[in-house]
A and B are shown apart, each in its own frame.
Chain A
Amino acid sequence: MGFLDHFLKAPSWGVHPADHKRPAADAPLRIFPSPARVFMPLHQHVGGVARPIVLVGQKVRKGELIAEAQGNISAPIHAPLSGTIAAVGEVTAPHPSGLPFKAITIDSDGRNLWADVEPLADPFSVAPEEIARRSAQAGVVGLGGATFPSAVKFALGKRLKVETLIVNGGECEPYLSSDDRIMRDFADQVVDGARLVMHAIGAKDALVGIEDNKPEAIAAMRVAAAPYPEVKICPVPARYPMGSDKQLIQTLTGKEVPSDARAAEVGVLVHNVSTCAAVHKAIRLGQPLVERIVTLNGGAIAAPGNIYAPLGTMIGELLAFVGMKEAPSRLILGGPMMGTPLLHDRIPIVKGASGILAFNAAEAFVPEAGPCIRCGNCSKACPMGLLPLEMAARIRIGDLEGAAAFALSDCISCGCCAYVCPSHIPLVQYFSHAKGELTAAERSRLRTDATKRLAEAKAARIERENREKAEAAARRKAEREAAKAAAAQPGSAASAAVEKTEGASA
């Protein structure tokens, strides 16, 4: 394979799974009718949890701020429909643990009234910081799945003088087509959003990387980008994980992002096509991020396709909307390679929800894992050039430090290794487990250090207090003796009293 790849100019990393994108990608976009009730989680982004600023019973309109950002890296949350705040409670998180997290429940009034918006008429005449500020206010986060607050990335790009914006239209995950759909139906929004982001970070040109299995999207984007020579549409070979930023940067620019460095440090910044469209809406229309395109796909779904739905809609309602052929054997949020397995469908969709997959029994079948036969397929497939078999062997016997020495921290959890493993070893779960345990160990080490500082501070305080007490006692004793001496010599009593008052006033 490696020999052929050299001639075909295809990357030597990664895998090429059957993409299963059609017919869902070709089905026209459907608009989800406004749900009766939405559950808007307060933590839909990387960083600090948003702080609710509404009261139960309060009336809100669509796009109104209901929770504000908290901390340097955070994003605000807006009402996805107009109605009444019903509760600030808990809902199951779209997370493999199935643990609950805080969410604001809104009952729809059925009118779907937008709040007052203030669009920016000529965004290219304002300062770049204004674009970042408005994007932050609109709660725009990376919609490719990482959900990193976009404005923070804009500021980083501006500071590091990024030359090139890379617009990620790779969408390499099988089954998903929400980015494909947004490029086909809203190509002008994506291109305009990309130009706004370029303005925000001061980039000279934009490269839109689109996998060559999406010819319709490439055609639509070429038409939309025709008036703007600085926005170049670049088809890239369809190969998983092309949509991972480090791989896309390498394919488009030939630059390799060093381990432990950010993309901005090699002069590029990556933003998803859906993020660009969200920036366009936030700036041109003044609309915050409250809706998104979600792919509903998988063997258990009767009419797979893409749906435009308000955030906070229950996954169960979306599944009912597209119809089910059978009860799904497995539910996944995101793609089949990197997505999150869900325990049930009473979970709301969030900003990073690019798709919901309902697999039938055949698709959900996971063969039993066998022993590693050291074939080395995993290290050939690894896009980061790691040695998954060595890391997994060490994690299996509990040697997490040993695995970390094989650059476990560079693993992007893309799942290529587990996909090619002939023994069906759940490699990604090994790595996720080890990363979690290492983070926990680091946290507890920091905690031990903090405890030590506190204990030392307490010991110092006790010592100081004892010393002060001893000094005070000594002073009192000296005063008593001075008074006694003064009493013994009546002649000097007056002067002693004067001294004492002076001492007190001093």
Chain B
Amino acid sequence: MKEFALMMIGAALVNNVILARFLGLCSFMGVTTRVDTAAGMGLATTFVITVSSMADWAVQTYLLNAYGLGFLRTVTFILVIASAVQFTEMTIKKVSPSLFQMLGIYLPLITTNCAVLGVALLLVEGRMGFLASTMFAFASSVGYSLVMIIFAGLRERLVLANVPRLFAGPPIAFIVAGMLAMAFMGFSGIATS
């Protein structure tokens, strides 16, 4: 139990997908202008990462490993992820048209969000069991959502600030992202994975 807790804290905070592994930076910069949009994106990505990791674990264990097809890993994983994203997109369009409108192009782009594939590949490297890998994937995506929401909150404040023209817009956003990453380095003291 303790290992599980440590692993989850490690996945969510210490080795944060965005700020420590630098995965999923496209959506990190793209949809963090408003907190509610970022939260919607975080939820959608959490769903995709968790579901596709479970499917990927099954594919890896029962197909790729069983028949020695390791070289097909990337292709099959992308296939699974794309299907999960399609499903998510249909669900969001049905449930919340306004969130669908706000997420725009970034919703289908979850397919190419390297955080999703990255987490799946990390799981393979880690050779974890089904429960552990699902927990790891969920914790990673929670870490992703958390950083998305924090950064969106920062950017909502940033719009109000009197930023010198040279730094206005993306430059100051990148500087703030760097500061946030440094702040997250502080978590490395509480757990190691």
A10 adjacent to chain B (CB < 8 Å): no
B134-186 with Cβ < 8 A to chain A = 159-162
In the assembled complex, the Cα of A393 lies from the Cα of B161 at a distance in Å of 7
B19: min CB distance to chain A, Å = 26
Contact: B160 with A394, CB < 8 Å? yes
CB distance from A47 to the nearest CB of B (A): 38
A396, CB-defined interface residue at 8 Å: yes
* A371 CA / B163 CA spacing, docked (Å): 10
* Chain B residues within 8 Å of A393, by CB: 160-161
A1 within 8 A of B: no
**Closest A residue to B156 using CB positions:** A402
The residue of chain A having its C-beta at the shortest distance from the C-beta of B159 within the complex is A397
Chain B residues within 8 Å of A394, by CB: 160
Chain A interface SS verdict (over half)? loop
Q: Which residues on A sit within 8 Å (CB–CB) of B160?
A: 393-394, 396-397
CB distance from A355 to the nearest CB of B (A): 36
Residues of B within 8 A of A460 (CB): none
**Within the complex, what minimum Cβ distance (angstroms) separates A421 from chain B?**
14
For the complex, give the distance between the alpha carbons of A396 and B159 in Å.
10
- Which residues does chain B contribute within 8 Å of A371, judged by CB atoms? 162
- Check if A446 is an interface residue, CB within 8 A of chain B: no
How far is it, in angstroms, between the C-alpha of A118 and the C-alpha of B160 when the chains are bound?
Answer: 62
Decide if A372 is an interface residue (CB 8 Å cutoff).
yes
Residues of A within 8 Å of B159, CB to CB, are 397, 399
Chain B residue nearest to A393 (CB atoms) is B160
Residues of B within 8 Å of A399, CB to CB, are 159
Q: Which of B159, B160, B161, B162 has the most CB of A within 10 A?
A: B160
Encoded as 1 (CB less than 8 Å from any B CB) or 0, chain A from 378 to 398 comes to 000000000000000110110
Number of A-B residue pairs with CB-CB distance less than 8 Å in the complex they form: 9
Rounded to whole angstroms, the CA-CA distance of A372 and B160 in the bound complex is 10
CB of B36, distance to nearest CB on chain A (Å): 14
Chain A's closest residue to B160 (CB) is A393
**B157 to chain A: closest residue by CB:** A393
A85 to B: closest C-beta gap in Å: 55
Q: How far is the CB of B164 from chain A (nearest CB, A)?
A: 10
Complex interface: chain A residues within 8 A of B162 (CB): 371-372
Bound CA–CA A394/B159 (angstroms): 9
Minimum CB–CB distance for B104 against chain A, Å: 21
CA distance A267 to B160 in the complex (A): 41
Nearest B residue to A372 by beta-carbon distance? B162
1/0 contact string of A357-381 vs chain B (CB within 8 Å): 0000000000000011000000000
Give the distance to chain B from A398, nearest Cβ to Cβ, in Å: 10
A399 to B34 CA separation, bound complex (whole angstroms)? 13
Closest B residue to A402 by beta carbon equals: B160
Nearest CB in chain B to that of A389: its residue: B160
CB-CB nearest in chain B for A370: B162
Which chain A residues (424-460) contact chain B, with CB distance < 8 Å? none
CB distance from A233 to the nearest CB of B (A): 47
> In residues 279-336 of chain A, which contact B (Cβ within 8 Å)?
none
Q: Give the shortest distance, in Å, between B172 (CB) and chain A (any CB).
A: 14
Q: A161 to chain B: closest CB distance in Å?
A: 46
Cα–Cα, bound, A371→B161 (Å): 9
The residue on A at minimum CB distance from B161 is: A393
Question: How far apart are the CA atoms of A397 and B157 in the complex, in Å?
Answer: 12
Closest to A392 in B: B160
B33 smallest CB distance to A (angstroms) = 12
Interface residues of A in 255-284 (CB under 8 A from B): none
The smallest C-beta distance from B100 to any residue of chain A, in angstroms, reads 23
- In whole angstroms, what is the CA distance A410 to B29 when docked? 37
* CB of B37, distance to nearest CB on chain A (Å): 16
Q: Closest CB of chain A to B168's CB: distance in Å? A: 11
Q: Looking at the assembled complex, report how far the CB atom of B113 sits from the nearest CB atom of chain A, in whole angstroms.
A: 30
Give the Cβ gap from A406 to chain B, nearest Cβ, in Å: 12
Bound CA span A399–B159, Å: 10
Q: How many Å from the CB of B60 to the closest CB on chain A?
A: 48
- Distance in angstroms between the alpha carbons of A397 and B168 in the assembled complex: 13
Cβ of B153 to closest chain A Cβ, rounded Å: 14
Min CB distance B76 to A, Å, is 47
Residue of A nearest to B162 (CB): A371
**In the bound complex, CA of A372 to CA of B157 (Å):** 13
Question: How far, in angstroms, from A492 to B161 measured CA to CA in the complex?
Answer: 94
B101 CB to closest chain A CB (Å) equals 18
Interface string of A385-423 (1 = CB under 8 A from B): 000000001101101000000000000000000000000
A333 vs chain B, min Cβ distance (A): 33
Chain B: minimal CB distance from A474 (Å)? 46
In the complex, A371 Cα to B159 Cα: how many Å? 14
Give me the 7 closest cross-chain CB pairs, A-B, nearest first. A393-B160, A371-B162, A397-B159, A397-B160, A394-B160, A372-B162, A396-B160
6 A-B residue pairs with Cβ-Cβ distance under 8 Å, sorted by A, are A371-B162, A393-B160, A394-B160, A397-B159, A397-B160, A399-B159
The residues of B with any CB-CB pair to A shorter than 8 Å are 159-162
Instruction: List 6 additional contacts besides A372-B162, A397-B160, A399-B159; criterion CB under 8 Å.
Output: A371-B162, A393-B160, A393-B161, A394-B160, A396-B160, A397-B159
